[in-house]
Structure 1
Amino acid sequence: MSDNQNLLAEQRRALILDEVRRRGGVRVNELTRKLNVSDMTVRRDLDALARQGVVEKVHGGAVPVVDASSHEPGFEAKSSLEMSAKEAIAKAAAELVVPGSAIALSGGTTTFALAQHLLDVPDLTVVTNSVRVSDVFDSAQRRSSQGPHPHGAPGAATVVLTGGVRTPSDSLVGPVADRAIRNLHFDLLFLGVHGISVEAGLSTPNLAEAETNRRFVQSARRVVVVADHTKWGTVGLSSFAPIAEVDTLVTDSGMPQSAREEISEHLRELVIAGEPRPADDT
């Protein structure tokens, strides 16, 4: 794999993580040969993956960290992970939005990043169960009422925040949220996920959030999952939709080629942020 010599750090780490998960563990000397990089580079990559909590370093290598499927990190903890990837995904996903659309944004740090790219899109109606997403639009509208917007007039979206019980990731879930979503219809749903895989589909560690996300999917004409490469192969406690119900996955360039090929076999559209889309896409 001599071509990997020039891989970006995030792409190289994604390959390492894929190898760790597939084989159940790797050794440093194996990775140096496979990736054609130095021992020190591999150890730095393993340190970075260990800080993200996705691998555990052991003598001479690393093994996967298997979190409890019901463990749900808080919003701040998730915000510090894969920041550049989430920003790239948000920018690419925003290009899918047409002015005047009715869209829904689920909870999550990637949908939070996306919301900031939607502020200048005119005449949107935004339904969300994310307190953080709602705050993005509310703050922008307060600023616009106090003076000129630095990038021109903001889109002045109509925002509907569902009620519900607040989760550690600042999403509102449960019967109140479910009832609010049930009778609505969206042109486009942007869905953040804890995990996505061919076998388990879309999943979350929170049972109530799974039901609320299920309602979102049922109410959307088009379902767009926004998820960085580390979410592929992760499985939470509760599945809420099969992968066949996803129209588009927007992810980052760290997604390994083997995973891209598997995803393309099961999804209608795969968008890699920062890379050209196929010519027949519209």
Structure 2
Amino acid sequence: MRKPEDAANEEMLPAERRQHLIEWFKQNQAGSGQDLARMFGISVSTIRRDLDLLASEGLVRRTHGGAVAIRSRATYEPSTDLSERTAVEEKHAIVGEALKLIEPNLSLLIDTGAVICHRLADRIAELEYPLTVITNDLYVAKQLTYRDNITLIVPGGACRVGSFSLLGEPGLSFLRDIHCDIFFMSAAAIDETGASETNLELGHMKRAMAEAASEVVLLADSSRFMSCALHRTVPIGSIDRVITDTGLLEEDRAKFPPHKPGFKVVDSSGDTPEEWAPTQGRERATS
């Protein structure tokens, strides 16, 4: 039985209701149809019609089961607080899949500047077998400090204001002289040509990390796709695997090269993820 306030919300003028939706997407990057329907006290079918209309006007982009805000990613960078609250379940599922790639005695590079990499560090801290972890992210380093099984290396650099990222020298020079197994990478934006960032120095750091790894694994929720930030970092051909969620539309995924990177699309509801598409990953370092 519907509550009286639900009926009142259903009777709200469509234009007024959609304006509330627009204001919500100004503060939030992505939302599912079910969550938005619950939030606004209306039916899922009503919210779907609203999202379809907003998408037709270029105000949002429809995804599987919801929508993402359309912003110019050239310079737009969400705050850490907003990133913490966006796509929480999707990030959890992506990190869970990434952990399956980690084996004892591997050397890992963990990217800097992204909440999803922080969540990965939280989970790696729970592992008990030996690993070497290299990172220029102070949060990641903090989570992995005092772990007897983890050899932690922080190349160093100047801390970017308002973030956990250490950028520039001596980190860049250090990365040129190492060779590790896996680079777990994040990105502000991804399209069929590659990954990109809003900050030039951050882009330099990510490029150096990618070049130092035998395998590059991009971790990104679906809201990051089909847009481009100001600075190109890693071309799509240098990314071996992509782990994302079911919000990535099949028509968008089809725009990427057919053989590399390999995609694994995970369902945050816990269903079995799709298999990797064929890829020709680089051999891991043996040293």
| Superposition TM-score, scaled by structure 1 size | 0.70
Whichever residue aligns with residue 186 of structure 1, its letter is C
Q: Of the candidates 195, 199, 205, which is equivalent to residue 212 of structure 1?
A: 205
Alpha-carbon RMSD across the aligned residues, in angstroms, is: 3.1
**More displaced, 102-111 or 268-277?**
268-277
- 1:162 is aligned to 155
Are the aligned partners of 2:159 and 2:165 in contact in 1 as well (CA < 8 Å)? yes
More helix by proportion, 1 or 2? 1
**In structure 1, distance between residues paired with 2:79 and 2:199:** 12
Deviations 1:41-65 (A, max 9, x none): 5448999x9xxxx849xxxxx9964
**In structure 2, distance between residues paired with 1:64 and 1:115:** 28
**Unmatched segments (≥5 aa) in structure 2:** 1-42, 62-66, 268-272, 282-287
- Give the 3-state SS of the residue equivalent to 1:263 in structure 2: coil
- Give the 3-state SS of the residue equivalent to 1:86 in structure 2: helix
Q: Of the candidates 182, 190, 193, which is equivalent to residue 176 of structure 2?
A: 182
Matches within 5 A, 1:1-282: 38-43=45-50, 55=60, 65-67=70-72, 69-107=74-112, 108-119=114-125, 120-138=127-145, 141=146, 156-167=149-160, 168-199=162-193, 201-263=194-256, 265=258, 267-274=260-267, 275-277=273-275
Are the aligned partners of 2:263 and 2:277 in contact in 1 as well (CA < 8 Å)? no
| Identical columns (%) | 25
Change (3 A) 1:46 1:130: farther
Whichever residue aligns with residue 45 of structure 2, its letter is S
Aligned residues: 222
- 1:151 is aligned to none
The alpha carbon displacement at 1:251 in A equals: 0.6
Deviations 1:100-120 (A, max 9, x none): 000100011111111122221
**In structure 1, distance between residues paired with 2:108 and 2:97:** 16
Deviations 1:34-83 (A, max 9, x none): xx962245448999x9xxxx849xxxxx9964336123333223211111
The alpha carbon displacement at 1:170 in A equals: 1.7
Are the aligned partners of 2:92 and 2:119 in contact in 1 as well (CA < 8 Å)? yes
Deviations 1:94-143 (A, max 9, x none): 101111000100011111111122221511000011111112112xx3xx
Deviations 1:218-264 (A, max 9, x none): 10000000001011112111001110100000111221121232336
Are the aligned partners of 1:181 and 1:219 in contact in 2 as well (CA < 8 Å)? yes
Whichever residue aligns with residue 79 of structure 1, its letter is E
**In structure 1, distance between residues paired with 2:50 and 2:150:** 47
The alpha carbon displacement at 1:162 in A equals: 2.4
Kindly report structure 1 stretches of 4+ aligned residues shifted beyond 6 Å: 44-47, 279-282
Deviations 1:127-168 (A, max 9, x none): 011111112112xx3xxxxxxxxxxxx772111122112233
Are the aligned partners of 1:185 and 1:221 in contact in 2 as well (CA < 8 Å)? yes
**In structure 1, distance between residues paired with 2:116 and 2:187:** 9
**Unmatched segments (≥5 aa) in structure 1:** 1-35, 57-61, 142-153
Are the aligned partners of 2:264 and 2:276 in contact in 1 as well (CA < 8 Å)? no
- Give the 3-state SS of the residue equivalent to 1:85 in structure 2: helix
